[in-house]
Structure 1
Protein backbone atom coordinates (compact mmCIF):
# COMPACT_ATOMS: atom_id res chain seq x y z
CA UNK A 1 0.00 0.00 0.00
CA UNK A 2 1.48 3.31 -1.03
CA UNK A 3 1.54 6.35 1.20
CA UNK A 4 -0.40 8.46 -1.26
CA UNK A 5 -2.85 11.23 -0.58
CA UNK A 6 -6.16 11.43 -2.37
CA UNK A 7 -4.60 13.47 -5.15
CA UNK A 8 -2.03 10.75 -5.89
CA UNK A 9 0.95 12.61 -4.43
CA UNK A 10 3.19 10.98 -1.84
CA UNK A 11 2.39 12.17 1.69
CA UNK A 12 5.03 14.03 3.66
CA UNK A 13 5.44 15.74 7.01
CA UNK A 14 7.15 19.08 7.58
CA UNK A 15 10.28 18.43 9.70
CA UNK A 16 9.44 21.44 11.89
CA UNK A 17 6.03 19.99 12.65
CA UNK A 18 7.61 16.61 13.45
CA UNK A 19 9.73 18.30 16.14
CA UNK A 20 6.56 19.66 17.78
CA UNK A 21 4.43 16.52 17.66
CA UNK A 22 4.45 13.93 20.44
CA UNK A 23 2.70 10.62 20.93
CA UNK A 24 -0.56 11.33 22.79
CA UNK A 25 -0.12 8.13 24.83
CA UNK A 26 3.54 8.31 25.86
CA UNK A 27 4.26 12.01 25.25
CA UNK A 28 7.43 10.76 23.54
CA UNK A 29 8.91 11.65 20.13
CA UNK A 30 7.58 10.38 16.84
CA UNK A 31 9.51 9.22 13.78
CA UNK A 32 8.34 9.63 10.19
CA UNK A 33 8.00 6.55 8.00
CA UNK A 34 7.86 7.94 4.45
CA UNK A 35 7.28 4.51 2.90
CA UNK A 36 3.97 4.00 4.70
CA UNK A 37 3.09 7.63 5.40
CA UNK A 38 2.87 7.13 9.15
CA UNK A 39 4.20 8.68 12.33
CA UNK A 40 5.78 6.00 14.50
CA UNK A 41 5.82 5.91 18.28
CA UNK A 42 8.56 3.40 19.07
CA UNK A 43 7.78 3.43 22.80
CA UNK A 44 4.04 2.73 22.33
CA UNK A 45 4.76 0.48 19.31
CA UNK A 46 2.02 2.10 17.23
CA UNK A 47 1.83 4.05 13.97
CA UNK A 48 -0.41 7.07 13.45
CA UNK A 49 -1.63 7.62 9.87
CA UNK A 50 -1.11 10.86 7.96
CA UNK A 51 -4.01 11.62 5.62
CA UNK A 52 -3.78 14.46 3.12
CA UNK A 53 -0.79 15.81 5.04
CA UNK A 54 -2.69 15.85 8.36
CA UNK A 55 -1.48 13.59 11.20
CA UNK A 56 -4.34 11.65 12.74
CA UNK A 57 -3.18 11.54 16.36
CA UNK A 58 -6.02 9.41 17.72
CA UNK A 59 -4.98 6.17 19.41
CA UNK A 60 -8.16 4.57 18.03
CA UNK A 61 -6.91 5.30 14.47
CA UNK A 62 -3.36 4.04 15.13
CA UNK A 63 -1.99 0.77 13.78
CA UNK A 64 -0.21 -1.58 16.18
CA UNK A 65 3.30 -2.25 14.91
CA UNK A 66 4.21 -5.81 14.06
CA UNK A 67 7.34 -7.43 15.47
CA UNK A 68 8.96 -6.98 12.04
CA UNK A 69 8.23 -3.22 12.08
CA UNK A 70 9.72 -2.87 15.56
CA UNK A 71 12.88 -4.82 14.70
CA UNK A 72 13.59 -3.10 11.36
CA UNK A 73 13.38 0.69 11.88
CA UNK A 74 16.15 1.92 9.48
CA UNK A 75 13.66 3.51 7.04
CA UNK A 76 12.32 5.75 9.82
CA UNK A 77 13.42 9.33 10.24
CA UNK A 78 12.91 11.66 13.13
CA UNK A 79 13.98 14.99 14.54
CA UNK A 80 17.73 15.57 14.53
Structure 2
Protein backbone atom coordinates (compact mmCIF):
# COMPACT_ATOMS: atom_id res chain seq x y z
CA UNK A 1 0.00 0.00 0.00
CA UNK A 2 1.27 3.47 -0.85
CA UNK A 3 1.54 6.37 1.56
CA UNK A 4 -1.58 8.52 1.47
CA UNK A 5 -0.98 11.95 3.01
CA UNK A 6 -2.50 15.33 2.31
CA UNK A 7 -0.34 17.28 -0.16
CA UNK A 8 -0.37 20.31 2.17
CA UNK A 9 1.07 18.16 4.96
CA UNK A 10 3.84 16.88 2.67
CA UNK A 11 4.77 20.50 1.89
CA UNK A 12 5.46 21.33 5.55
CA UNK A 13 7.04 18.06 6.70
CA UNK A 14 10.83 18.02 6.66
CA UNK A 15 13.54 15.42 7.05
CA UNK A 16 15.18 15.82 10.49
CA UNK A 17 18.67 15.21 9.05
CA UNK A 18 20.90 18.31 8.66
CA UNK A 19 21.27 17.55 4.91
CA UNK A 20 17.51 17.49 4.45
CA UNK A 21 15.36 18.00 1.41
CA UNK A 22 11.78 17.48 0.34
CA UNK A 23 10.08 14.27 1.47
CA UNK A 24 8.65 12.07 -1.26
CA UNK A 25 5.84 9.60 -0.59
CA UNK A 26 6.41 6.02 -1.71
CA UNK A 27 4.17 4.36 -4.24
CA UNK A 28 2.90 0.81 -4.35
CA UNK A 29 5.58 -0.39 -6.77
CA UNK A 30 8.68 0.03 -4.61
CA UNK A 31 9.96 -1.40 -1.31
CA UNK A 32 9.61 2.05 0.27
CA UNK A 33 5.85 2.18 -0.36
CA UNK A 34 5.02 2.81 3.31
CA UNK A 35 7.77 5.36 3.80
CA UNK A 36 8.54 9.02 3.18
CA UNK A 37 11.97 9.35 1.57
CA UNK A 38 14.20 12.42 1.72
CA UNK A 39 15.18 13.58 -1.75
CA UNK A 40 18.65 14.66 -0.55
CA UNK A 41 19.95 12.25 2.13
CA UNK A 42 17.81 9.30 0.90
CA UNK A 43 16.73 8.25 4.39
CA UNK A 44 13.27 6.67 4.46
CA UNK A 45 10.92 7.27 7.38
CA UNK A 46 8.05 4.89 8.14
CA UNK A 47 4.43 5.97 8.06
CA UNK A 48 2.54 4.05 10.74
CA UNK A 49 -1.27 4.22 10.73
CA UNK A 50 -1.08 7.37 8.61
CA UNK A 51 1.40 9.09 10.96
CA UNK A 52 4.92 9.86 9.68
CA UNK A 53 7.61 8.81 12.17
CA UNK A 54 10.31 11.40 11.43
CA UNK A 55 12.98 10.16 13.82
CA UNK A 56 16.55 9.56 12.65
CA UNK A 57 16.66 6.39 14.78
CA UNK A 58 13.70 4.98 12.84
CA UNK A 59 15.02 5.86 9.37
CA UNK A 60 16.26 3.23 6.92
CA UNK A 61 18.17 3.50 3.68
CA UNK A 62 16.81 1.29 0.93
CA UNK A 63 19.75 2.09 -1.35
CA UNK A 64 22.23 0.46 1.10
CA UNK A 65 20.02 -1.92 3.10
CA UNK A 66 18.64 -4.72 0.89
CA UNK A 67 16.01 -5.83 3.43
CA UNK A 68 15.18 -3.19 6.09
CA UNK A 69 12.60 -5.49 7.71
CA UNK A 70 15.16 -8.22 8.41
CA UNK A 71 16.64 -8.76 11.76
TM over 0.5: yes
Matched, 1:34 2:27: yes
- Structure 1 consecutive aligned stretches of length 4 or more whose deviation exceeds 4 Å: none
Q: Give the structure, 1 or 2, with the largest relative contact order (CA under 8 Å, sep 6 or more).
A: 1
The correspondence of residues 45-64 of structure 1 with structure 2, limited to 5 A, is: 45-64=42-61
Q: 2:16 aligns with which of 21, 24, 29?
A: 24
Q: Distance in 1 between matches of 2:9 and 2:3?
A: 14
Q: Contact 1:11 / 1:34 at 8 angstroms: preserved in 2?
A: yes
TM-score (norm 1): 0.64
> Number of aligned pairs?
59
Q: CA RMSD in A?
A: 1.7
TM-score (norm 2): 0.71
Give the structure with the higher percent helix: 1
Is there any run of 5+ residues in structure 1 with no aligned partner, and where?
4-9, 68-80
